[in-house]
Amino acid sequence: MSTQVWFITGSSRGFGRELATAALEAGDSVVATARRPEQLHELVKQYGGRVLPVALDVTEPAAATAAVEAAVKRFGRLDVVVNNAGYANVSPIETTSEEDFRKQFETNFWGVYNVSKAALPVLRKQGHGIVMQFSSVGGRVGGTAGLGSYQAAKFAVDGLTRVLQTETAPFGIKYLVVEPGGFATDWAGASMTIPDIAPEYDQTVGEFARILASGRASAGDPKRAGEILVRVVKHPAMPTHLLLGAGAVKMAQQYSQQQIAEAAAWEQVSSSANFDQPYPVDLPAGRA
């Protein structure tokens, strides 16, 4: 298939906007969704009928279904479904309100669930399609102070996608989990709220907030990211996971090496839980 039809959530800015632009520059068509579709006027003005702007709040299942139906009615099919819409607020888990924690999860996880589920019947009947889930290197490595809800949701997105990959393998559907590091998008801008941080968490959450404010965590170019992703989904050997940014690669490699080393150090202890293995065994030597 020479050209593709994309369905992209959160197309008004950031990765979504750059990805939509890159796909259009490649000659593809884009169903660009946003809470406020009037923000997509420039895309329509520049690329005409190859852009279908659609209003979509990903937290509403019926809206996701309606958006997918509008896309198929206009273009006849979906080739690449991109779950990009998401945001984060920064605060310690202890002091984050349950309402805020749940609201972030509604967009960052349930939004992905809603759109993926709405698109699956179309992709299954077609016998092909790609679902691109925007996660984060934090969704692989985790542990960023202040991002409890956001990173929990990203881990959940990866888990959901791995199951989907197994369940829908006979239908020709492929999945790509995108794991960016820090990029120069609006992620840490107007869409992010950072309330006053309790003194007890200043050295952890407070320090992360200061890093965000300094811009030191925004080394990635979102325009390049969009262009890379368009090329990757057209590649015959598309990966299941793609790290974006040099910092993300380094973090992921270090984390994987630590996981392997820890699993090896505790291998005998772990294996001893089986009936047919020696028991008890000595715990590894270590210092307190």
- What residues act catalytically? 135, 150, 154
pLDDT band at 217 (very low <50, low <70, confident <90, very high): low
Q: DSSP label at 273? A: T
Global pTM? 0.95
Question: pLDDT for 25-36, tens place per residue?
Answer: 999 999 999 999
- Ranges 27-31, 134-138, 175-179, 210-214: which has the least confidence: 210-214
Nearest to 240 by CA among 83, 133, 150, 124: 133
Q: What is the structure's pLDDT at 213?
A: 86
Average pLDDT over every residue of 20-43: 96
* Residues paired with residue 178 on neighbouring β-strands, in sequence order: 134, 242
Q: How far, in Å, CA of 227 to CA of 235, rounded?
A: 13
Domains and CATH numbers, the chain: 5-271 (3.40.50.720)
Nearest C-alpha neighbor of 226 from the set 37, 43, 36, 39: 43
Please, are residues 21 and 226 in contact by the beta-carbon 8 Å criterion?
yes
Read off φ and ψ for residue 51, nearest 5 degrees.
Answer: -115, 130
Whether the CB-CB separation of 284 and 261 falls below 8 Å is answered with no
pLDDT over threshold 90, residue 286 = no
- For residue range 100-158, what is the model confidence (pLDDT) as tens digits? 999 999 999 999 999 999 999 999 999 999 999 999 999 999 999 999 999 999 999 99
